[in-house]
Amino acid sequence: MTPSPADLFRQTFAAEPAVVTAAPGRVNLIGEHTDYSALPVLPFAIDRRTAVAAAPLDAPRIEAVSEAFPVPASFRPGTPPAELLEPWHRYLAAAVSLLEPPPGAGARLAITSQLPPASGLSSSSALMVALVAALNAAWGLALTPEAIADLAARTERLAGAETGGMDQQVIAFARAGHLLRIDFLPPARRHIPVPPGWAFVVASSGQPAPKGGAAREAYNQRVVGTRVAAALLADMLGVGLEGTPLLGHVAGIDAAPVLVEELPERAAPRGIARSLGIPLEWLTALSSGAALDPDAPVPVRPFARHVLSEADRVDAACRAVESADLAALGRLLDASHASLRDDYRCSTPALDAVVAALRKAGAAGARLTGAGFGGFAVAACESGRESALVEAAIAAAGGPAFPVTPSDGALLE
């Protein structure tokens, strides 16, 4: 049984925490790998959370324990994340580096979670939202909910993966019984009620989905590939760019989906920057300071095809939910998984197998959820079918698998 963060704090530090915060995990129903292209997503928060107990410390030191990881953290505020060996320590250091603690102040932290790590259910983003909210309260920083969500997103980018802002927004602002449509150009959020009689199940593929190492490089390669695609499409369409090119800048132009098929299969960022006369860093710069090899070709056409078609599927999914058409939603989930498998190449045989098992057991549709490369799948079904889906997924991949309920976010306004 997961201990409470307050109990873990007392056991570790022999003191009472000043504040306890909690943030949910999330399931992205559809709209995968679209947020960092400034295109819409349709996630919801789930009924499993990460919690942080915190208290200020009258010394410039961060001391933290987590029930999920054996090595405690201890470092000075301002320590560069890359200098710390444990990945979860780097996340803490990244968050602290973006905040402004009172002079000479530190904090003690105790962290517990109901979310499986490296699953694609956003355990790291839940930690960042709960952590920033806890330090905000402990240090009296008076940050707004919007600022907390933004800082949590910046923290994850600083820690290494060039993510968009979906996870932190839904974790912060979700509403029970609703999906949350998030747009980025211009920024907007819209809560969409889940029709009665619908249910959702998530199931592990049995394969971890870590955000470090090769998975992080694969993720960042996709970010760069979509930027290259956006720059080329903008040039074809005569759209002027100022700064990082995003597919969201051209997605609303009718000719864009047709011109995708004229993009190169692969291209090296340096060559594209030179041919278009734009700074190379517009294509390759990452918040963490890491950089991909600018002379190594990255996929362009298939990445653009997935992202633009996935954005269209988000629009269609919103219509399906609003009209209570579960069959239509299921077809969109299936199409999304096929696109992620064939064009974005972030599915795996293990994910494909658990998705197939969920469909065979009676899901209206199923797809990987999260960045992919392992982790979990999500299925939509009629209420009452959840047990059959869970049993089939466990038989196929070994579990865990469980129903999830759209739930409130951590900072719901």
Q: What is the H or E stretch that residue 206 is in? A: none
d(CA 29, CA 44): 7
Q: Which of 175, 134, 133 is nearest to 150 (CA)?
A: 133
Contact 117, 104 (CB under 8 A): no
- What is the token pair recorded at 14? 């022999």
Long-range own/partner contacts, residues 163-167 (CB < 8 A, 24 or more apart) = 163/35, 163/36, 163/219, 164/34, 164/35, 164/36, 164/37, 164/38, 164/41, 165/35, 166/28, 166/31, 166/35, 166/41, 166/43, 167/26, 167/43, 167/122, 167/125
What's the longest Cα–Cα distance across the chain? 64
Contact 368, 310 (CB under 8 A): no
Residues facing 21 on adjacent strands:
52
Which residues lie closer than 8 Å to 238 by C-beta, 6 or more apart?
Answer: none
Residues facing 30 on adjacent strands:
42
DSSP string, 139-162: HT----HHHHHHHHHHHHHHHT--
One of 35, 150, 167, 235 is an active-site residue; which one? 167
**Phi, psi (deg, nearest 5) at residue 176:** -55, 135
Which residues lie closer than 8 Å to 289 by C-beta, 6 or more apart?
Answer: none
Residues facing 198 on adjacent strands:
382
Contact 406, 45 (CB under 8 A): yes
Structure letter (DSSP) for residue 185:
T
- What is the token pair recorded at 146? 């919007």
**Phi, psi (deg, nearest 5) at residue 48:** -135, 140
Q: Is 167 a catalytic residue?
A: yes
Contact 30, 314 (CB under 8 A): yes
Q: What is the H or E stretch that residue 99 is in? A: none
d(CA 70, CA 72): 6
Q: Residues, the chain, total?
A: 413
Contact 201, 363 (CB under 8 A): yes
Contact 356, 337 (CB under 8 A): no
Catalytic residue IDs: 167
